[in-house]
């Protein structure tokens, strides 16, 4: 079988905390004195279902502690609300910032949970005016909300999507500014022209002046899918949406020379 079904506790993520934050990151905890590197992002950076995510592989190759600051379903809002974490990132020798998806951030139309950015908290008056027929108490997650809006009225949804793109660029620029242009921006996943939430070349190019480099890493040709991932049968659909070990190795190989050039 191409993947391994394991019990719920088969993969120990050794959760830890940094800089007094309530956010739980993948451990074991690394030292933050002396030289260290940092990788921040969402579920992909965290490495859910993967024994050795790319931050661990970077650590082995570069010989320096690498803080895995991946946070499940995180958008830029998570990190911008944590000044101590921003200071920790600014103190790193090099920083990799995963470009998070569009839906998971507060904007002019709706707000999200400050630590679980995929959780929809509420619609603003502007969204209620745009979609007066919608009952927003039915929604708990941003993806469910947005797909429902798109299905209800593609024309009106286009206004929401345009605002999401503006808000995402604004928040990502603010986050990258805290790192003084030193960050390597990492975009994961295949380009999906039909996906309205895909991070297209235009969005990423708009961030070029605010970072040291941009790396786009699509799933490798011949990707073995779930091979080497640790998940239960119920977790298979979620695992299929995330990078597997082969993709994490590809990301690490591509990042190593970019990081070495900046150390």
For residue 185, what are the β-bridge partners?
Answer: 97, 214
151 belongs to a structural domain:
no
Work out the mean pLDDT of the chain and round it to a whole number. 91
Q: How far apart are CA 166 and CA 153, in angstroms?
A: 20
| pLDDT band at 189; cut points 50, 70, 90 | confident
* Element counts in the chain: helices (H) and strands (E): 10, 9
User: Considering all CA atoms of the chain, what is the largest pairwise distance in Å, rounded to the nearest integer?
Assistant: 57
Distance CA 80, CA 68 (A): 17
Calculate the alpha carbon distances from 212 to 154, 176, 179, 208, 231 in Å: 37, 10, 10, 8, 36
Range of the domain at 188: 4-102+173-260
pLDDT (tens digit per residue) in 152-185: 999 999 999 999 999 999 999 999 999 999 999 9
Q: Is residue 122 part of a domain?
A: no
Percent of the chain residues topping a pLDDT of 70: 93
List the beta bridge partners of residue 231.
5
Question: Which pLDDT score is estimated for 184?
Answer: 98
Distance, in Å, from the CA atom of 151 to the CA atom of 144, rounded to the nearest integer, reads 11
DSSP 8-state assignment for residue 23: -
Please indicate, yes or no, if residue 107 is contained in any of the structural domains: no
Domain presence at residue 92: yes
Give residue 189's region: left, alpha or beta (phi > 0; psi -120 to 50): left
pLDDT tens digit string along 53-106?
999 999 999 999 999 999 999 999 999 999 999 999 999 999 999 998 899 999
Number of separate domains in the chain: 1
**Per-residue confidence band for 192, with pLDDT thresholds at 50, 70 and 90:** low
Specify if 144 maps to a domain. Answer: no
Question: For residue 185, what pLDDT is reported?
Answer: 98
Looking at residue 208, what DSSP letter applies? Answer: G
The b-or-e profile of 178-210 (16+ CB within 10 A means b, else e) is bbeebbbbbbbbeeeeeebbbbeeebbeebeeb
Q: What angle do CA 238, 242, 245 make, to 5 degrees?
A: 125
Q: Helix (H, G, I), strand (E, B), or coil: what is residue 169?
A: helix
Output DSSP code: residue 13.
Answer: -
Considering the domain boundaries, does residue 252 fall inside one?
A: yes
Tens digits of per-residue pLDDT, 129-144?
999 999 999 999 999 9
Q: What is the pLDDT of residue 177?
A: 95
Q: Report pLDDT for 263.
A: 78
131 located within any domain: no
For residue 184, the domain's CATH number is 3.40.50.1110
pLDDT confidence bin for 1, thresholds 50/70/90: very low
Q: Is residue 38 part of a domain?
A: yes
């Amino acid at each position: 079988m191409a993947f391994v079904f394991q019990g719920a506790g088969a993969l120990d993520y050794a959760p830890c905390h940094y800089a007094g934050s309530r956010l739980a990151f993948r451990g074991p905890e690394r030292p933050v004195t002396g030289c260290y590197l940092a990788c921040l992002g969402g579920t992909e950076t965290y490495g859910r279902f993967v024994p050795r995510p790319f931050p661990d592989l970077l650590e082995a190759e570069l010989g320096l502690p690498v803080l895995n600051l991946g946070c499940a379903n995180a958008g830029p809002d998570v990190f911008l609300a944590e000044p101590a974490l921003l200071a920790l990132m600014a103190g790193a020798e090099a920083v990799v910032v995963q470009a998070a998806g569009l839906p998971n951030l507060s904007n002019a139309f709706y707000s999200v949970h400050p630590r679980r950015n995929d959780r929809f908290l509420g619609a603003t008056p502007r969204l209620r005016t745009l979609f007066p027929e919608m009952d927003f108490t039915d929604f708990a997650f941003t993806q469910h909300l947005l797909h429902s809006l798109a299905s209800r009225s593609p024309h009106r949804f286009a206004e929401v999507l345009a605002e999401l793109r503006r808000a995402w660029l604004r928040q990502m620029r603010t986050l990258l500014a805290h790192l003084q242009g030193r960050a390597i921006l990492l975009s994961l996943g295949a380009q999906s022209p039909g996906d309205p939430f895909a991070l297209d070349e235009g969005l990423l190019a708009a961030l070029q002046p605010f970072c040291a480099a941009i790396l786009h890493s699509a799933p490798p040709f011949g990707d073995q899918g779930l091979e080497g991932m640790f998940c239960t049968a119920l977790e298979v659909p979620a695992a299929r949406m995330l990078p597997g070990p082969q993709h994490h190795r590809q990301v690490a190989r591509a990042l190593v020379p970019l990081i070495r050039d900046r150390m």
